Amino acid sequence: MYGCVHSASKRIFALSSTQFIPSKKTSEPLKKFFLLQLIFISSLQAAVLPEDRADILYHSYDGGGAEISGPSYLVRKKFSESVSASVNHYVDNVSSASIDVITRASPYTEERTENSVSVDYLHEKTVMSLGMTESIENDFDATTYSFNISQDMFGDLTTVGMGFALGDNIVGRNGDDDFSEDVDVRSYRISLSQVITKDVVLALAFETITDEGFLNNPYRSVRYIDPENALNYIYQAEVYPNTRTSNASAIRAKYYLPFRAALHGGFRYFTDSWGIESQTFELGYTWPYREDLILEFTYRLYDQTKADFYSDLFPFENAQNFLARDKEMSTFSSNTLGLGVHYEFLKNGTGLLKRGSLNLSWDYIDFQYDDFRDLTVTGVPPGQEPLYQQDANVIRAYVSIWF
């Protein structure tokens, strides 16, 4: 089922070696969250190849009536001093009874699989990467090709990066074999990381994304007041523009404290041609509790304005050219509290294994919607239902082995 719960799983996965290019199935705050994380990660990489490594991850999202979980497997391998490759397999098992589903359809379950491959080439101070990702589910297929290049300069204190990605997506609709729509996605990005002092690292990034094609959800509807009964409302299908341009700018800094701990913070500003603007603030503290045990605490604030054509309740049918009632297109905010634990083992290696780590993280997310109402509450006039809110728990547990 084509729905926003698919996007929730994107939030909980930060292990893949290949670039995540959000498809149009991914809800807006989660797109922007991953865009920010990806930019920061890529902009802080120096001109070295990744180490040989294998990761096994379990992820879980539980919130707003949606449950998403599954495994992921990642392997990185160098084939020479200048070439390395990685493969990744990722699975979402979705069970949804979210408010989007229960007010217009029936709860459902499904599986989404994603397979990625990437190749990195190192030449002196330059790293070039090619990647491909395929994502398959019963009503949506996505293929993304990406190219990235980064260059170290000025004594390796500065790293400049650029990238391009091309996404070809096909949208289907369950129960309608004749429904098939295309979506083309283009992404362009630049990044800069700079060592300011021995204790301070700064990263800047900018990305622009263009989408063209069928950009709305084929299952989603808007509501409008019943012209024959003002105490009732009627549904009609959403209608979106077929083009969109999004821009995101991000800055992040990390400060290493004298006692091995570190502070980090970031800010990201997003805007698009649909009228959405958002801001994300993030603060974190990394604390080496013991030589082999590291704790991390994070807080993230997200705030978003609605799309120009969004409304929780329209006054009449076809009230305007474009119509949306997706809660991810509404005005809302979220607060995230995170805790991470990182334990290192086999620090001296054994046999073919160099070292390993166990990692567990938990995020609690609270969503507050300013103009999206809870239609599960009945017996009140349209537009006077209580505002919707939800929370979610996100868990990531994975083991990494270097060899």
pLDDT at position 46, please? Answer: 57
pLDDT at position 335, please? Answer: 98
pTM: 0.87
* Residue 141: alpha-carbon gap to chain centroid: 17
Give per-residue pLDDT as tens, 25-36.
444 434 444 444
pLDDT at position 104, please? Answer: 83
Q: Of 141, 148, 152, 138, which Cα lies nearest the Cα of 108?
A: 138
Which stretches of the chain drop beneath a pLDDT of 50? Answer: 1-44
Coil, helix or strand at residue 328: helix
Give per-residue pLDDT as tens, 102-135.
888 778 899 999 999 999 999 999 999 999 999 9
Q: 116 and 129 in contact (C-beta within 8 Å)?
A: no
Q: 297 and 336 in contact (C-beta within 8 Å)?
A: no
Domains and CATH numbers, the chain: 5-402 (2.40.160.40)
